[in-house]
Amino acid sequence: MTHDDAGTAAPLFDDLGLSRPMLDALAEVGYETPSAIQAAAIPPLLAGSDVVGLAQTGTGKTAAFALPILDRLETGSGRTQPQALVLTPTRELALQVCEAFERYAARKADVRVLPVYGGQGYGVQLSALRRGVEVVVGTPGRIMDHLDKGTLDLTALRFLVLDEADEMLKMGFAEDVETILADTPDDKQVALFSATMPAAIKRLAQRYLTDPEEITIKGRTTTSANTNQRYLIVSYPQKVDALTRILEVENFDGMIVFVRTKNETETLAEKLRARGFSAAAINGDVPQVQRERIVEHLRSGKLDILVATDVAARGLDVERISHVVNYDISTDPESYVHRIGRTGRAGRSGEAISFITPRERYLLKVIEKATRQPLTQMSLPTAEDINSSRLARFDDAITQALESEDISFFRDVVTHYMQEHDVPEVDVAAALARVLQGDKPLLLDPDAERAQRSRPERRERDSREPRRRSGPPLARYRISVGRRQHAEPRQIVGALANEGGLRREDFGRIDIRGDHSFVELPATLSKETRDRLARTRISGQLIDLTREDGPGDRPRRPSRPDRGVKPTKNRTKKPRHKKSK
């Protein structure tokens, strides 16, 4: 049976069959009504059926499988083997899913959740597995490593989830996923979630799922007409300054600033506080009591800016939010829609501002195409804009002070000073403003800013000059997969980045050959990282990474002889044979 999001009235969470601890946990995180995928998937999963769910990222799939799994977990029996395994394509998604499980399990005792992914030391994972966990969330490559080592026992597994299955297959994890599915108990319950249904996913579902309930959610990627959407092209190092300037000139009430990582929430919130703004961070590591206090301060006006991750901001609805800033633009249109949906609610107007680096321009087109709404480009506020805003706020502060009840007392104080020192009123007012301002200048210097902007950040480069990398020196490495294994650059990058904790700038040229490939990676890779990468699988095959050359630039071509000197040739003349008549 196929379900569809056709706009029918959604049920409440109370109607889905969830237990009271799960409902209480949902109330604590602020969830009120289930999304379409949650309303359709939770009842059959609670009933023990296999499920195939087709829905875009950002539609609430994590809660759709996490809530019924947590509801059916057996706890307190002293068991140490995992009961649930969730496979995700990336370590970032694995961490997000873990955070969600932990939040939803807040009212259920003895639920231990472990993320298992490449880039993290084995020691932490091994000690947690020895102590025992109920839920393991991991990437296929690292899960396979633990299975090969015998450190992960899945013989008691009851639930298995494939999250973003199409992405896992695109990244070359198809054979790993099939191996894991085949090596787990036959009577396990399987849930497969995917944004698309390619032939490989269909074959996977037909082979490993038993009479699954098919759920299709047609994505309706739309944004509120009440939200004015703008974007600013800005380099990453300029983001903090750009945000500070926007905060100075925008007339905002409450604001949410979205970033990608938990660490960035704390870092950015601290930088904003240092610049005099009332800001706080919220992420998956923030305890529930502290989270509730922060949200209450945001509602009451004690706090103006909330720096948050996507996961931490789910279910957050505060009327004061007039602005949403995508400090790190979302790579997924659904996530973008969910972010800016925090403002412009219930007929109120809202503002959404997205920071886009030059390399992320393509995401702008993706978002505009998906939402069918153009974003308006904005300019970085100038010194004149900031000065005008500061003077306006200064005027407002004076007007507000003149309306205060105790103004007569201070008028007497000023009058006394004028009579004693024979100073004009305007001079006394100016002196008081100077005292109030302190050492920080009230206005910026526009001339100094223009001079700074006129200086080139880097020397002009001839268009024919090759672009130089700013990352670490590269060396060439060989991996044992190539065209015969249907390896693609995105699979190689995805697998190596996931297992080795590498960044985009850590990759150079990728040269795919018949049965092997060459990849340029940092020459300074640690032995531990190289060992992890050597155990990585692409298309089900160990890549057996080995280093081909030393650090530095790519191998140089042999030098050519000077064109002015004709190279000598050592040729042995062969005797000519006369043709026989």
Q: Which two tokens stand for residue 508?
A: 């150079």
Residue 32 confidence (pLDDT): 73
Residue 552 lies in a domain: no
Residue 469 lies in a domain: no
Residue 443 confidence (pLDDT): 67
Helices then strands, each counted (H, E), the chain? 21, 21
Residue 569 lies in a domain: no
Look at residues 338, 353, 382 and tell me which one is the last residue of a structural domain: 382
Residue 487 lies in a domain: yes
Residue 560 lies in a domain: no
Residue 558 lies in a domain: no
Residues 482 and 500 in one domain: yes
Rounded CA-CA distance 310/259 in Å is: 8
Residue 459 confidence (pLDDT): 37
Q: Supply the CATH number for residue 513's domain.
A: 3.30.70.330
Residues 98 and 191 in one domain: yes
Residue 563 confidence (pLDDT): 41
400 CB-near residues (< 8 Å, 6+ apart): none
pTM of the model: 0.49
Nearest by Cα to 110 from 132, 95, 127: 132
The DSSP H or E segment spanning 429 is helix 425-437
Domain that holds residue 373: 227-382
Rounded CA-CA distance 466/468 in Å is: 6
Q: Quick check: 554 and 509 in contact, CB under 8 A?
A: yes
Edge to edge, the sheet with strand 510-512 lists 510-512, 517-522, 474-479, 546-547
Residues 370 and 410 in one domain: no
Residues 341 and 429 in one domain: no
Residues 348 and 378 in one domain: yes
Look at residues 183, 216, 249 and tell me which one is the last residue of a structural domain: 216
pLDDT, mean of each 10-residue run, the chain (581 residues): 47 89 85 85 95 79 93 80 92 83 87 86 86 93 91 94 89 90 93 88 91 82 74 92 91 91 90 91 82 88 91 73 92 78 74 91 83 87 78 77 80 83 82 72 64 46 40 84 83 81 81 88 85 80 79 41 43 45 41
Residues 339 and 312 in one domain: yes
Q: Check residue 422 and give left, alpha or beta (phi > 0: left; psi -120 to 50: alpha).
A: left
Residues 143 and 93 in one domain: yes
Residue 220 confidence (pLDDT): 53
Nearest by Cα to 385 from 449, 305, 441, 453: 449
Residues 62 and 177 in one domain: yes
Q: Which two tokens stand for residue 197?
A: 């249904």
Residue 542 lies in a domain: yes
Residues 268 and 299 in one domain: yes
Residues 368 and 393 in one domain: no
Rounded CA-CA distance 524/51 in Å is: 45
Residues 416 and 511 in one domain: no
Residue 25 lies in a domain: yes
Residue by residue, DSSP assigns 326-371 as ESS--SSHHHHHHHHTTSS-TT--EEEEEEE-GGGHHHHHHHHHHH
Look at residues 164, 183, 216 and tell me which one is the last residue of a structural domain: 216
- Would you call 38 exposed, middle or buried from its count of C-beta atoms within 10 A (0-12, 13-18, 19+)? buried
Total tally of structural domains belonging to the chain: 4
Rounded (10°) CA dihedral 468, 471, 475, 481: -100
Residues 501 and 361 in one domain: no
Residue 211 confidence (pLDDT): 93
